[in-house]
Structure 1
Amino acid sequence: MDSTSDASPTSPRRESVWHDWQWYAVLILALVVRGGIGYLQQENFADDPDSYRLLANNILRIHSFTLDDPAEPTAFRPPLYPLLLAVTSISRNVLPEEVLLLHVVLGVITVGLTYFWTIQMGLQRWRSLAGFLVAIDPILLNQSTLVMTETLATCLAILTLVAVSSLAAKQLSSDDARGSRDVTISAVNIAGAVGLAIFCRPTFLVWAALLPMAIWFCCRGWKLRLSSVLAYGLMLLFLLAPWVVRNLLVFEAPVLGTTHGGHTLLWGNNDSYYEYLRSGSTPVWDNTEFHQRFARRNPYLGTSASELGRDRAAYREAVETMKQNPGMAAYSAVVRFTMFWRLLPNALSEDESGRRTLVRYAIGTWYFIQFALVIAGLFALGKDLAKPGWMAAIMLLASFSLVHLFFWSNMRMRSPLVPILAVLACAGIELIRNRLAKR
C-alpha cells in the first residue's frame, strides 16, 4: 500500500497530536453524536437487561459483588463494568443520567484512540474519517444507549491495540541501552489494557493468549523479545489472579471468566434451537421456553454453589447436544458465524413497521459498503498485515469469530471490532484513491 510521508508511524506530526485541530474536531463530533443519541434515548438507561445496574447498586449499598440481598457472592457477570458504574455514580444510585455521561465519555475516548491508532498504522490522511466512522457506527450507537458492556469493551480493545502499536513504534533492539526498561513498561501496559478488557468481557481471554505472538515481533533481538513476552505474561497473571482466587474461595473452583459461559454455550446448542434451524418459519427463534425449561431443570437456589452448578450443567448439556447432533452442531456454527458478521439486523417480527424496515436496510447498506472497503483494505495492506499492530488486530477479529462459532452470537457482539473495521475501511479507501490517481 502506498503510504505518504505524513503517514509514517515515525512522523513528527504523530508526536503533536495534541496540536492537531482535526483531533479536537473529531472529539467534539463524537461528543455531540454520542451525547445527542444518548439524550434522545435516555429512557433506555433506566432498563437493566443484564443486571449490571443491580450489581453496581449492591456494590454501593451492601459492599458486595452480588445479585442478591442478603449477599451471596456471584461471578455470573464480569466485574469491571458494574464496578465502573458504581465508582462513577455520584448519587450512589446509578442514575440513568450518570450512565449516559459514562458512556459518552467512553465513546469519545474510543473515537480519540481510533484516531491515534490510525496514525500509528500509517494512515494519517484518513485519521479523521476513521474516528468519524467509529463515532456514528450503528452498532455502537445502539449499544451506547443500553446498560451493557459493549461501549466499555470497545474502548478497552482499541486501547490495547494502541499499546501494542506503541511498543512496535519504538523499534527497540537488544543493542539499545534503554530497551529492557522500555520493553517492560510497554508490555505491562499491554497486559494492563487487555486484563481490563477480560474483566469487561471474558471473550478477550482468547485474544490475550494470542497477543504474545504480536508482542514478540515488536522488538528486535531474542533478549528483548523474551523480556517483552515474559513481562506481559507475568503482569497478566498478576492482574487475573485476584479474581480467580476470589472465585476459588467462593465457588471452590478457579473460575477464570464467569459462571455465565455454560448458559451462553447452551443457548446456541440445544434441541429447541436445532429444531428451529431445521424447520423454523419465524424471523427470530423464540427462546423463552428454552430458558424456562432450563430454569425448571436447574433451579437457582440463591447460593454460589447453585450458580456454579447451573453453569456446569449447562456446559454438560450443550456438549452432549453437540455430540448427539454433530451435523446440526456444525451447521449452527456456520449460522452463528453469519449472525456475528451479518450486515442486516434481524427483523424482530413478521409485521414490523415500514420505518423499522427502512432503518434496517439503511444499516445493511452501511455495512455492505464498509465491508467491501474492509476487503479492499486487507488486499491493500498485503504484507503489512504481518506487522505487530495489524497482527494483533487480525488476531482480535479471528478470536472473537472463533469464540462465537460455539457460543451464542449476534451483531452486537462484534462491537469491540468496530475500530479495526473502520481503519481497515480507510485502508481500502486509500487503495481506491491511489488507483484512481494512477488513472
Structure 2
Amino acid sequence: MDSTSDVSTTSPRRESVWLDWQWYVVLGLALLIRGGVGYVQVDNFSQDPDSYRLLADNILRIHSFTLDDPAEPTAFRPPLYPLLLAITSISRNVLPEEVLLLHVVLGLVTVGLTFFWTIQMGLARWRSLAGLLVAIDPLLLNQSTLVMTETLATCLAILTLVAVSSLAIKNLTCDDPRGSRDVTISAVNIAGAVGLAIFCRPTFLVWAALLPIAIWFCCRGWKLRVSAVLAYGLMLLFLLAPWVVRNMLVFDSPVLGTTHGGHTLLWGNNDAYYEYLRSGSTPVWDNTEFHQRFARRHPNLGTSASELSRDKAAYKEAVQTMKQHPDMAAYSALVRLSMFWRLLPNALSDQESSKRTLFRYAIGAWYLVQFSLVLVGLLALGKDLAKPGWMAALMLLASFTLVHLFFWSNMRMRCPLVPILAVLACVGIELFWNRLAKR
C-alpha cells in the first residue's frame, strides 16, 4: 500500500517555533499534567529502586561515582542520570522536590522537541497533538514519578532525532560554500546527543552504530557524506573514550556500557525463568529466589573486581543456559518481545482490585488505538520511510526491540520510543483526516 499522496507533504514551517502560539499552549498543558502528576506522587521520589540517588549522594558527599563508602568505583549503573541528579540538587541532598523539578523540566523539553520534530517531518498540522500524546502517555507519566532513567532517556532520544532531521532538512551539497562546515557541525551535534543517550542507557549503543546509515543520506555528494559520517564517528569516540579509559583503569577491562549487562541477560535466560515459562501459573514471575541464588554463588565483596567478575559470571551462565536449552531461549525471546510491546501492564497479583483492573485495561485500550494508528501511519508513509529522519526513527525502534529480545524486558523499557510512536500515530490520523476531507 502506498498512500503517500494522502499524507501531508508540506515542507516544515519556516517561522521560528518561538513565535508559534501552539508551542506555548502545549508546553503549558504539559507543565500542568507532568507537574500535577509529579506533585500528587512526590513521595515516590523518596524511593531509590535502582540506586541512582545513592550514586548521586556519593558524588555530592565523597566526590566519587560509587555505591559504597569508603569509595570503591563502580560502573554498575550508567553515569549521566546520577550525575544530573547531583548537579541539579541545590540542597546537596537530592530531595524529592528537586527530582520532581528535574523530571518536569525534562518532560517539557521532550514535549517541546516532539512538537518541533513533528514539524520537521512535514506534519505541522498535528504538531500540538503529537506533543500532547507524549505529555499524557501512560508509560512516561508513570516513569516520570520514579527515580529512574526513562524520563531522561526519552528526552535524549528525541533530541538525537531532531539533530538528524535538522541535518537532513539542510539538504547540503558539495556546491554549498559552507556545506563542509555545516555538515561537520550538524554531525557533531548528532554524536553529542546520542553520546549523552548512551551515558544514560547503554541500549542506545546499538542505535549509535546504525545512525551513520541515516547520516549518509542526510546530504548529497559522497564527499559531504563521508565528512558527515567521519565527524559523527570521531566525535562519538571522543565522547565515549573517557568512560572507557576510566573503566580500564578501575577494572583492567574496557567496559563500554555498564557492569550490569550480564545480570539483565541472565535475568531473562536462566533455568528458573525457563521453568516458569513452561509451567508458571502466577501473573508475574517471582524472581526473588533467582537473585538470592546468584548472590550466594557469586557474593558481592564490595570491590570493583568483584563487580566485574559477577558481571562476567552472569554473562557466562546466561550463554550456557541458552546453549543448553535453545528451544526455551527462542521461546523466551518471543516472550520478551511480547513484554516489550504489550498493550496493558501486568497484573501484579491474582487478588487485584477491580479499580486497578479497570485502570490497566484503560491503558491497554489507549495503546491499542495508538498502535493501530502507528501501523496505518507506517503504511501511509510508504517510500517516505527511506528519508533520513524516518530512517533514524525506525532504526531506534528496531535496535531497542532487538536488544530486548535477549536482555530482560518489560513495557517501561520502550519509553524512549514514545515520541516516535506519537508522531507515527499522527501520520495515521492525517491519512484518515485527508480521506474524510475528500468525501
Read off the aligned partner of 2:167 and give its amino acid letter.
L
Aligned to 2:240: 240
Deviation per residue, 1:163-194 (Å, 9 max, x gap): 00000000100111110000000000000000
The one-letter amino acid of 2:154's match is T
**Aligned letter for 1:253?**
S
Distance in 2, Cα, partners of 1:151 & 1:140: 7
- What does residue range 355-366 of structure 1 map to in structure 2 within 5 Å? 355-366=355-366
Partner of 1:25: 25
Deviations 1:244-274 (CA, angstroms, capped at 9, x unpaired): 0000000000000000000000000000000
**Number of equivalenced pairs:** 435
Rounded Cα–Cα distance in structure 2 between residues aligned with 1:359 and 1:39: 20
Distance 1:338 1:77 in 2: 26
Q: Which residue of 2 aligns with 1:201?
A: 201
Any conservation in 1 of the 2:41–2:145 contact (CA below 8 Å)? yes
Tell me the equivalent position of 1:8.
Answer: 11
Instruction: Kindly indicate whether residue 171 of structure 2 is the aligned counterpart of residue 168 of structure 1.
Output: no
Find out whether 1:42 has 2:61 as its counterpart: no
**What is the SS of the residue equivalent to 1:38?**
helix
Q: Compute the displacement of 1:3 (Å).
A: 4.8
**Who is 1:109 aligned against?**
109
- Residue of structure 2 equivalent to 1:305: 305
The one-letter code of the counterpart of 2:321 is T
Q: What is the CA deviation profile of residues 373-426 of structure 1, one whole-angstrom value per residue up to 9, with x for unaligned ones?
A: 000000111100000000000000000000000000000000000000000000
Which amino acid letter does the alignment assign opposite residue 285 of structure 2?
A: W
Coordinate RMSD, CA, aligned: 0.7
Structure 2: give runs of 5+ residues left out of the alignment: none
**Structure 2 residue aligned with 1:127:** 127
Map of 1:177-326 to 2, 5 A cutoff?
177-326=177-326
Match for residue 55 of structure 2?
55
Q: What is the letter of the counterpart of residue 270 of structure 1?
A: N
Distance across 1 between alignment mates of 2:438 and 2:112: 32
Identity over aligned pairs, percent: 85
Contact 2:183 2:227 in 1 (8 A): yes
| Partner Cα separation in structure 2 for residue 98 and residue 231 of structure 1 | 37
Q: Distance in 2 between matches of 1:34 and 1:434?
A: 32
User: 1:346-385, aligned counterparts within 5 Å?
Assistant: 346-385=346-385
Return the letter of the residue paired with 1:87: I
2: CA distance, partners of 1:300 / 1:412: 28
Write the distance in 1 (CA, Å) between the matches of 2:293 and 2:7: 57
In 2: Cα distance, 1:202 partner to 1:419 partner: 19
Question: Residues of 1 paired with 2:299 and 2:121: CA distance?
Answer: 50
Distance of 1:104 and 1:265 partners within structure 2: 32
- The verdict on how the C-alpha distance between 1:438 and 1:277 changes in structure 2, with shifts beyond 3 A counting, is same
State how far apart, in whole Å, the 1-side matches of 2:23 and 2:11 are: 17
Corresponding position of 1:425: 425
Structure with bigger RCO (C-alpha 8 Å, 6+ apart): 2
Cα displacement string for residues 103-139 of structure 1 (whole angstroms, at most 9, x for unaligned residues) = 0000000000000000000000000000000000000
Q: C-alpha offsets along residues 127-159 of structure 1, whole Å, 9 cap, x if unaligned? A: 000000000000000000000000000000000
Q: Letter of the 1:262 partner, please give it.
A: G
Q: Which one-letter code corresponds to 1:242 in the other structure?
A: P
Q: Which residue of 1 aligns with 2:414?
A: 414
* Structure 1 residue runs without a partner (length 5+): none
Contact 2:300 2:307 in 1 (8 A): yes
Query: TM-score, with normalisation over the residues of structure 2?
Result: 0.98
Letter in 2 for 1:129: L
Residue 436 of structure 1: CA displacement? 1.7
Q: Is the 8 A contact 2:154 2:418 kept in 1?
A: yes
Map 1:65-104 to 2 at 5 A. Answer: 65-104=65-104
Instruction: Give the Å deviation of 1:67.
Output: 0.1
Amino acid at match of 2:75: A
Give the Cα separation in 2 of the matches to 1:424 and 1:384. 12
Shift of 1:41: 0.4
Is 1:150–2:134 an aligned residue pair?
Answer: no
Give how far 1:438 is off: 2.3
Q: Give secondary structure in 2 for the equivalent of 1:89.
A: coil
Q: In the aligned structure 2, how far is the partner of 1:285 from the partner of 1:438?
A: 51
Aligned to 1:140: 140
Give the Cα–Cα distance (whole angstroms) in 2 for the partners of residues 430 and 8 of structure 1. 15
Residues 7 and 381 in structure 2, CA contact (< 8 A), matched pair in contact too:
no
Inter-partner Cα distance in structure 2 for 1:16 and 1:150: 29
The separation in 1 between residues aligned to 2:62 and 2:16, in whole angstroms, is 46
Q: Deviations over 1:30-50 (max 9, x none)?
A: 110000000000110000000
TM-score by length of 1: 0.98
Cα separation, 1, equivalents of 2:285 and 2:292:
14
Cα separation, 1, equivalents of 2:241 and 2:138:
36
Q: How far apart, CA to CA, are the structure 2 residues paired with 1:185 and 1:108?
A: 26
